[in-house]
Amino acid sequence: MSSPEVIVLLALYNGAQNLREQLDSYISQTYRDWGLIVSDDGSSDEGPEIARRFSAEVSQPVELRPGPRRGFAQNFLSLLHAAGQDARYVALSDQDDVWMADKLERAVRALRDVPEGVPAMYCSRTWVWNSRTGETWLSHMHPREPNFRNALVQNIAGGNTIVLNRAALDIAQAAADEASDIVCHDWWLYQMVTGTGGMVVYDPEPTLYYRQHNGNQIGANTTTLARLTRIALILTGRFRGWNTRNVTALRRSAHRFTPENRRILNRFAAARRQGLTRRLAMLHRSGVHRQTTGGNAGLWLAAFLNKF
């Protein structure tokens, strides 16, 4: 496909019910120089046909391609490859949200200020949206500076808000084959961009309506029940399992990291193998942290229980 300045990367799987609203929100963008690649991961509904009809309605280039059929994270990694070598920016998209009209314009404006050749990722807050009741509320604000120490234990970059510049896309494309068992593509991108010394532009303004329903792969961490669920993930050891998978993938890509971030990764990985006293001391030395006091309390609880 010809390459507009921004390529939207849409991962599709049985998303027909809400897909058209998402596609219509692309049409409403104030920033018009975009194209679309849809990767269908084996849908059995009308989603692919809706995408085909959409391609005939718009002047922007639209490509529909088969996905790898290995889950949503690998579908997005395949889309990063599919973006090719010419796109200046790529914007990741879920299949069931609704973008606000200035989403792409805000992202492009922010990323244009980044020096040439510096990897950069834009992400933002969202309006969390219960489309059944119509209720909306703002996602959490992340007050601390995005960096690799935070990315190791927390993802602040909602994948449905992410836009990468060319330098960040180059890194993601080069490292994607090293990320065969990551937990989430967006968390991995936050780790890779910060680990390689890149920039994360976190926009405190919401740029989309994040639809909540039973089919969400992760869901928004904005309710008391959601936060309790995440505490349960620590106690059951699932958080530790996620970290194990992430560390394994990151070590395959560590040759791309800055020397300081390689040291942080190694300290973090080593701390997870120690007895209690040394484990806590090494975790402290690594400097890893979450964004809030409560989040850090949960991290240290997980470390005390050897479940991080």
pLDDT tens sequence across 53-89: 999 999 999 999 999 999 999 999 999 999 999 999 9
- Ordered by start, the domain boundaries in the chain are 6-211, 224-304
Structure confidence at residue 229 as a pLDDT band (50, 70, 90): confident
CATH architecture type of domain 6-211: Alpha-Beta Complex (3.90)
203 with 162: CB under 8 angstroms?
no
In angstroms, the Cα distances linking 145 to 106, 148, 150, 156, 200 are 19, 10, 9, 10, 9
38 Cβ contact partners less than 8 Å away, ≥ 6 residues apart = 10, 12, 48, 51, 62, 63, 64, 65
Stated as kind and residue range, the H or E segment containing 90 is strand 89-93
Predicted TM-score (pTM) of this structure = 0.94
For the ranges 148-162, 193-207, 208-222, which has the lowest average pLDDT? 208-222
Which candidate, 17, 35, 14, places its Cα nearest to that of 26?
Answer: 35
pLDDT at 3: 79
Say whether pLDDT at 5 is over 90: yes
3 HSE (CA, 13 A, CB side): 11
pLDDT at 220: 53
Chain-wide mean pLDDT for the chain?
Answer: 94
pLDDT at 217: 47
For 40-51, how does the pLDDT look when each residue is reduced to its tens digit (9 = 90+)?
Answer: 999 999 999 999
